[in-house]
Structure 1
Amino acid sequence: MTGTGTAVWLVPEHRGGSTVVTVTGTLVLDTYPDLRDGLLKIATDAPDSVIADIGGLRIEDDTLASVFSVVAMRISDWPGIPFALVSPRPEHRAVLAGRAVDRFVAVHDDVGTAERKRDSPPRRRAVQLLAPTTGASALARRFVTRVCAEWGVPAHEEDAQLIATELVENTVRHTVSAPRLRLELRRGIFTVSVGDDDPRPAVLHERLSATEAGLGLQLVAQVARVWGCSRSWSDGKVVWAVLTTRGRPGRRAG
């Protein structure tokens, strides 16, 4: 609840192939961050797609509908899953079209239609829960090697090992959580992510000398097209990196 007496509520329901989020309340300037961050947190834990049912949402200012474009662009970086909106209300459709939101996000009348028409690119996912010990990074590297061989993407193995090592070591060093390593492949895009139960934003370790443990932020940025840290709906976080060709400067997702 905000100081103006307005609020937004998000209730996620995990279904077979999608996470449907029922959004109610009032979208005003004060609740804009709550809606944006809430949808991004839910997307962090969603396996295949996110569908936001906004039929019960009141939009006070048409310009604030841009929040859905922002969410769509953030999700396109990671986790790279389909995102759609649902509302049977003509005034919603008019606002979304007027603000060009429907150019970035598919808009449907009902959840069933959204599920039938979603673009679900073929994806592979492999998850490994690691013990929070000093040997976790070695196990992570072996896991990456095995998965890259199974998926037939040996070109990603070296970069994925480097990223996985840094992210796992940061989790072990700075939290008391067991690192959750996740590898994904979709449309030729390979991602590495590590989740934990600590809500504090991740600060990638900057190596100060050649003998110090850790790969450092500069190397992570060099081998990743984009990387970032996303809060999860379960109050933890996921640090992730999207791989591309070697030597290409990366950027931090905003």
Structure 2
Amino acid sequence: MLSCAIDASAPIAVVSLSGALSMSSSVDARSVLHKALAAHPTAVLVDVDGLTVDEDIALTVLSTFGRVAAEWPGCPVVISGSSRTVRRDLERMGINRVVPLYDDRAEAEAALGDLRTPRRFRSMIAATPAATATARDVVRRACTDAGLPALADDAELIVTELVGNVIRHVGGTMELMVSARERFLHLAVRDGSPVKPKRVLPDPETGEGGRGLLLVDAVASGWGTSEISDGKVVWATLRIHRHG
């Protein structure tokens, strides 16, 4: 049986995996890892001390997670573990080529110690007609406070579409997250539905509908959807061009 625990009390989220990892239990590991990521930590440290590997292919859940975290929210992921058997399995499966592997948690934390804590802004917003205006205000203030006023217009356009999708298709309450990291401004909207948004073309006769995600696709450096245990996060990034 696999045991998964999250310690998100510090900027670096620590996910501890212990017990038996198999293809079936890797689903639980994936859910916990994405739950940790949804909180916008500075980094994620996966502690595999106490882990045993029943099926080595299940370890690919860690490399897949590392790639997802690199896309959104630009979050580095590292693995710590002293078990020679598990380390051998990780290296044989090539996981260490995607996610750095360290002998223990202290070494992994030291490697992450020089990371700059991102500027983060969060707001809970009810999915009412006023939500898009509220979200635009939050994003513009975040861009100003982070010293990125040049990105405000594009960020407002993107968040209008992301929030609009929640209003039209989900309802309830959403969480808007804005994070300014080294290279990208990350925009994300978390809602309670697991259904992923679909990019569709406007109606050829009326020209109506389907423009939202096409606009996001045109303006953003990248965008996508990350599943979490209680819904999903739809995210988009804007590249930061620093001068001087």
Indicate the TM-score class for this superposition, using the shorter chain for normalisation.
Answer: 0.7 to 0.9
Partner of 1:142: 137
* Residue identity matched to 1:140: A
User: Structure 2 matches for 1:101-112, cutoff 5 A?
Assistant: 101-112=95-106
Mark the runs of 5 or more structure 1 residues left unpaired by the alignment: 1-6, 246-254
How far apart are the structure 1 equivalents of 2:225 and 2:217? 13
Q: 2:55 aligns with which of 42, 58, 61?
A: 61
* Residue identity matched to 1:27: L
Is 1:225 the counterpart of 2:217? The answer is no
The percent of aligned pairs where both chains have the same amino acid is 32
The answer (yes or no) to whether the contact 2:225–2:233 under 8 Å persists in 1 is yes
Report the 3-state secondary structure (helix = DSSP H, G, I; strand = E; otherwise coil) of the residue aligned with 1:193: strand
Per-residue deviation at 1:46?
4.5
CA-atom RMSD in angstroms:
2.5
* Residue identity matched to 2:79: L
Partner of 1:172: 167
The answer (yes or no) to whether the contact 1:206–1:217 under 8 Å persists in 2 is no
* Residue identity matched to 1:76: A
Partner of 2:12: 18
Report the 3-state secondary structure (helix = DSSP H, G, I; strand = E; otherwise coil) of the residue aligned with 2:86: helix
Report the 3-state secondary structure (helix = DSSP H, G, I; strand = E; otherwise coil) of the residue aligned with 1:23: strand
Mark the runs of 5 or more structure 2 residues left unpaired by the alignment: none
Moved more, 13-22 or 202-211: 202-211
Per-residue deviation at 1:164?
0.4
Paired residues in the alignment total 237
How far apart are the structure 2 equivalents of 1:220 and 1:239? 11
Report the 3-state secondary structure (helix = DSSP H, G, I; strand = E; otherwise coil) of the residue aligned with 1:72: helix
Moved more, 190-199 or 38-47: 38-47
Listed one character per residue, the Cα deviations across residues 176-199 of structure 1 (whole Å, up to 9, x for unaligned) are 322221111111301111112334
Per-residue deviation at 1:75?
0.7
Q: TM-score, normalised by structure 2?
A: 0.85
User: Structure 2 matches for 1:1-254, cutoff 5 A?
Assistant: 7-118=1-112, 120-203=115-198, 207-208=202-203, 209=206, 215-233=211-229, 235-244=230-239
Per-residue deviation at 1:12?
1.1
Per-residue deviation at 1:121?
3.5
The answer (yes or no) to whether the contact 1:49–1:81 under 8 Å persists in 2 is yes
Listed one character per residue, the Cα deviations across residues 201-222 of structure 1 (whole Å, up to 9, x for unaligned) are 344676545666x842211111
Per-residue deviation at 1:85?
1.2
Q: Against the structure 1 CA distance between its residues 130 and 48, is the aligned structure 2 distance closer, same or farther, given a 3 Å change threshold? A: same
The answer (yes or no) to whether the contact 2:199–2:214 under 8 Å persists in 1 is no
Per-residue deviation at 1:48?
2.1
Moved more, 133-142 or 145-154: 145-154
* Residue identity matched to 2:193: D
